Structure 1
Amino acid sequence: MPYVTIACQALLAGVFVVAVAGKVRGRAAFGEYVASIAALGFVPWARPVAGALVAAEILVAVSLATPAGLGAALLLLAVLTTGIVLGVRRGRRVPCRCFGAAAAPLGPTHVVRNLVLAGVACAGLAARVLGGSAAAADPAGVAVALAAAAAGVLVVVRLDDLVSLFKAS
């Protein structure tokens, strides 16, 4: 089971790295992210909240080099999901800036995405408890786990585009 843990860690780390890159790729991108936080209702604290969330994403991505990072990812996903749910319940039509510039407003798709990612963290934790260490992992198995994680990152990051393909026009 070390391959499940490895795949879960790599998928979550990849998602958080892409999320950070999308938000800090330039002054305008970070400004758009701050504006989206403000539009969710965190107006007086938008810049510090945005900065803290980016810092937390960086810390979680780095911590995912160890299995302990799965718990940190689960906690951060709970915070992010709560923010999305509160914003949606307040009727805020805020563009998802989770991975940088996007036109799709935050909504149920983003909540489900985060819940699935939380499930990935839980699966990684469970596999860690049940399955031993990655020290005994075969390099070929690790390569397959990393390839699966990369495919998962691609799906998560491009989820808005995938959903729009299947929506009735």
Structure 2
Amino acid sequence: MQYVDVASRLLLLTVFVLALASKVSSRRAWSEFVQSIKAMAVIDKARAPAAATATAVAEAGVIVLAAVPLRWAGSASFALAAGLLGCLTVAVVMVVRRGAAVPCRCFGASRTPLSMAHVARNGILIAVALIGLAASLVNGTFDPAIGAIVGVFGAVLGLLMARWDDLVSLLRTT
């Protein structure tokens, strides 16, 4: 199960590094993220800056905890990721149910409106976090070479998850 822990950590670490970087890379990126929260209209617009800050802090927490090679840190990272993703998923569902065409700002500038595809992506990430949490609680042996391989595998899957909109568009029929 240690390999599942490593792959899950690296997948989520990659996803959250890219997500956070897209939000804090510039003042414009941050402003666009805050505006997207306002456009979602799931909280009072005056609270959007606080919600954006809370999201960024939680994403940073996942990153830091996932990077610490201790079992408790991995468990905490997985729990924080699952909680954050759960909150974000509820917000996306609310937007989709209203039929609002709000762009997904999860990984930077995007014109793709939030949809059930984003709910599916978040569901997959929540499952990864919960499976990783379970794996982090189990003792076992660990071979660093195999750990490196599964870590790279997890990171590559994380990159694919960050490009979810592109993957979905490839599968859509016109």
TM surpasses 0.5: yes
Looking at structure 1, the residues matched to 25 and 6 of structure 2 have their Cα atoms a distance apart, in angstroms, of 28
- 1:119 maps to 2:127: yes
Q: CA deviation at 1:90?
A: 2.1
What is the root-mean-square deviation in Å for CA atoms of aligned residues? 1.3
Q: Residue in 1 aligned with 2:53?
A: 51
Q: How many residues align?
A: 166
1:22-37 correspondence to structure 2 within 5 Å: 22-37=22-37
- 1:88 maps to 2:100: no
Name the amino acid aligned to 2:105.
R
Q: CA deviation at 1:102?
A: 1.0
Q: Secondary structure at 1:147's aligned position in 2?
A: helix
Looking at structure 2, the residues matched to 153 and 57 of structure 1 have their Cα atoms a distance apart, in angstroms, of 14
TM-score (norm 1): 0.93
TM-score (norm 2): 0.90
Q: CA deviation at 1:121?
A: 0.9
- 1:79 maps to 2:84: no
Q: Residue in 1 aligned with 2:17?
A: 17
Q: Secondary structure at 2:74's aligned position in 1?
A: coil
Name the amino acid aligned to 1:86.
M
Q: Secondary structure at 1:101's aligned position in 2?
A: coil
Greater shift after overlay, 102-111 or 56-65? 56-65
- 1:110 maps to 2:118: yes
Name the amino acid aligned to 1:32.
E
Name the amino acid aligned to 1:45.
R
Q: Following TM superposition, where does structure 1 have runs of at least 4 consecutive aligned residues deviating by more than 6 angstroms? A: none
Name the amino acid aligned to 2:3.
Y
Name the amino acid aligned to 1:5.
D
Unaligned runs of 5+ in 2: none
2:14, 2:159 within 8 Å by CA — same for their partners in 1?
no
Q: CA deviation at 1:91?
A: 2.0
Unaligned runs of 5+ in 1: none
Q: Residue in 1 aligned with 2:148?
A: 143
Looking at structure 2, the residues matched to 163 and 89 of structure 1 have their Cα atoms a distance apart, in angstroms, of 20
Q: Residue in 2 aligned with 1:67?
A: 74
